[in-house]
Amino acid sequence: MSFAAAISKATDQAFGTTSRPGVDLLIGGIPVRLQTSDQQLLSAFTAALTHHRRPITTPQVVIRIWSAAATGIQRPTMPGTLQQRVIDRCKILSEEERYLLDFDPTGRMVTVIDTATAQVNVCLSALEHLPHWERAAPLRSAMSWVLRQQNVHLLHAAAVADDAGAALLLGAGGAGKSTASLRCYQAGMQFLGDDLCAFQAGSTPRVFNVYGTAKTVWNDLADFQEFQSLLISKPGALKAVYALNQATTTRISTTSELRVLLLLDHSQPVGSVKRANRAKAVGIAASTTTSFLPGSGQPMLSALADLARHVPVLSISLGEEPQQVRALVQRAIRHPEQLLEDCVGT
C-alpha cells in the first residue's frame, strides 16, 4: 500500500462512524464540505473561510482533517524517500497519478488528494504543529486542485475591485501586494485577496476571492490601526494577520470581472505608469505561485498567459497614501489606456 493510500485509510479510521464537526463552503462557485476530527481543528482551518459558508446539498469535494494527537490514531510512517523530499523541500503533486501528495517542510502536515473520489485527506501530528501560513491561507494545495476542476487557478497575487471591475496586483514576494490591497480597502474599494486569489481566463476573465484574511509586516501595524481589532496572529508570528471577514461591515467581494493587470514597481516615482512586459509579468506571477503551489504548473501558466493577452498589463508605482492608491487603481481599472497616455505625456 502506498503512503498516500495509507493516509486515506487512516483518515477513514479517524472519522469512523461518529459525527464530526464540519462546515459547508461555496468557493469559486464550487460546493465544498470541510470536516474535522474536533472543534479546535475546525476553528483553526475555517477562520479565513467563514465568509464562504453556504448550505450545500451535495458537495463536489469533501475535505477531511484530523490530527494524530486528538484522535489517538498514529499517522502512517512516511517512507525514507519521501522524508528526504521533505528535507529537500520538494513536493509531489502529479496530475498523472490517482493520489496527489503535498506536505509542509517539517513533514508534520500531509495533504492527500484522491482524484478518483474527489476527496482530500489532511493529517497533522498535532494542532500546535500547524504551519503558520495555514491560519491565513488554509488548505491552499487542496484549494488549488479544487478550483482547477472548473478551470479556475489559484495565483500568488492580490486583487481589488470597484463597480467597474477588478485589478490584479502582481509582484514578487515583498513587492507590496498586501499593503496596496489594504490601502485600497481602507479607501473604500472591494477586497478580493492580498496574497492569494483565483482567476479564470477567457474572453471575459474573472477574479475570485478565496481567503478573507490579509497580512502585513508588524512594522506596518500603526498604518492599519482600524484593523487591529481583527488581528488574529500573536506577536512573534511571522506576520500580522487580519481577519477582514470578521469585520462588522466587510467589503469582501466574491468575484469580479478582471479589467487590468498591475505589476507593482516601487523603483519609479509614485504615480508612474508604463506598459509592462507581458512575459515578465506572467513569469513573475507564475514562478512565485509554483514555488508553493505544486501541481499548478502548466495549466496555470497557460491560463495566465491567455489572461495577459486579453487585458492590459501595466507597470505602476502606487505609493502609500490610501486615497492616492485608490485613485490610481480605479483609473487603471476604468481607463487603462488613458492613464498610460497621461503618464507618458507628462
Q: What is the pLDDT along the chain (346 residues), one digit of tens a residue?
A: 788 889 999 999 999 877 788 999 999 989 999 999 999 999 999 999 999 999 988 999 999 999 999 999 998 888 888 877 777 766 776 655 788 888 887 778 999 999 889 999 999 999 888 887 888 899 998 999 889 888 999 999 999 999 999 999 998 777 789 999 999 999 999 999 999 999 999 889 999 999 999 998 888 888 888 888 999 888 777 888 999 999 988 899 999 999 999 999 888 888 888 998 899 899 888 888 887 776 677 888 899 999 999 899 999 999 889 999 999 999 999 998 888 887 765 4
pTM of the model: 0.92
Q: Are residues 7 and 119 in the same domain?
A: yes
- Backbone torsions φ then ψ of 264, nearest 5 degrees: -70, 135
Q: What's the angle, vertex CA 212, arms to CA 211 and CA 217, rounded to 5?
A: 95
| Domain containing residue 182 | 153-345
Q: In angstroms, rounded to a whole number, what is the distance separating the alpha carbons of residues 275 and 183? A: 23
* pLDDT value of position 297: 72
Q: Are residues 319 and 292 in the same domain?
A: yes
Q: Are residues 249 and 229 in the same domain?
A: yes
Distances from the Cα of 206 to the Cαs of 167, 251, 253, in angstroms? 10, 18, 12
* pLDDT value of position 257: 96
Q: Where are the alpha helices (DSSP H) in 137-277?
A: 140-148, 177-186
Radius of gyration from C-alpha coordinates of the chain = 20
Q: Are residues 234 and 271 in the same domain?
A: yes
Q: Are residues 192 and 314 in the same domain?
A: yes
* pLDDT value of position 96: 59
Domain count for the chain, please give it.
2
| Best CA proximity match to 61, nearest among 90, 24, 12 | 24
| Residues ≥6 apart with Cβ < 8 Å to 279 | none
> What are 53's strand-pairing partners?
25
Q: In angstroms, rounded to a whole number, what is the distance separating the alpha carbons of residues 320 and 178? A: 12
Q: In angstroms, rounded to a whole number, what is the distance separating the alpha carbons of residues 256 and 198? A: 11
Q: In angstroms, rounded to a whole number, what is the distance separating the alpha carbons of residues 325 and 329? A: 6
Q: Are residues 280 and 252 in the same domain?
A: yes
Decide if 107 contacts 129 (C-beta within 8 A): no
Q: Are residues 48 and 25 in the same domain?
A: yes
* pLDDT value of position 189: 96
Q: Are residues 56 and 73 in the same domain?
A: yes
Domain end position, chosen among 148, 166, 201: 148
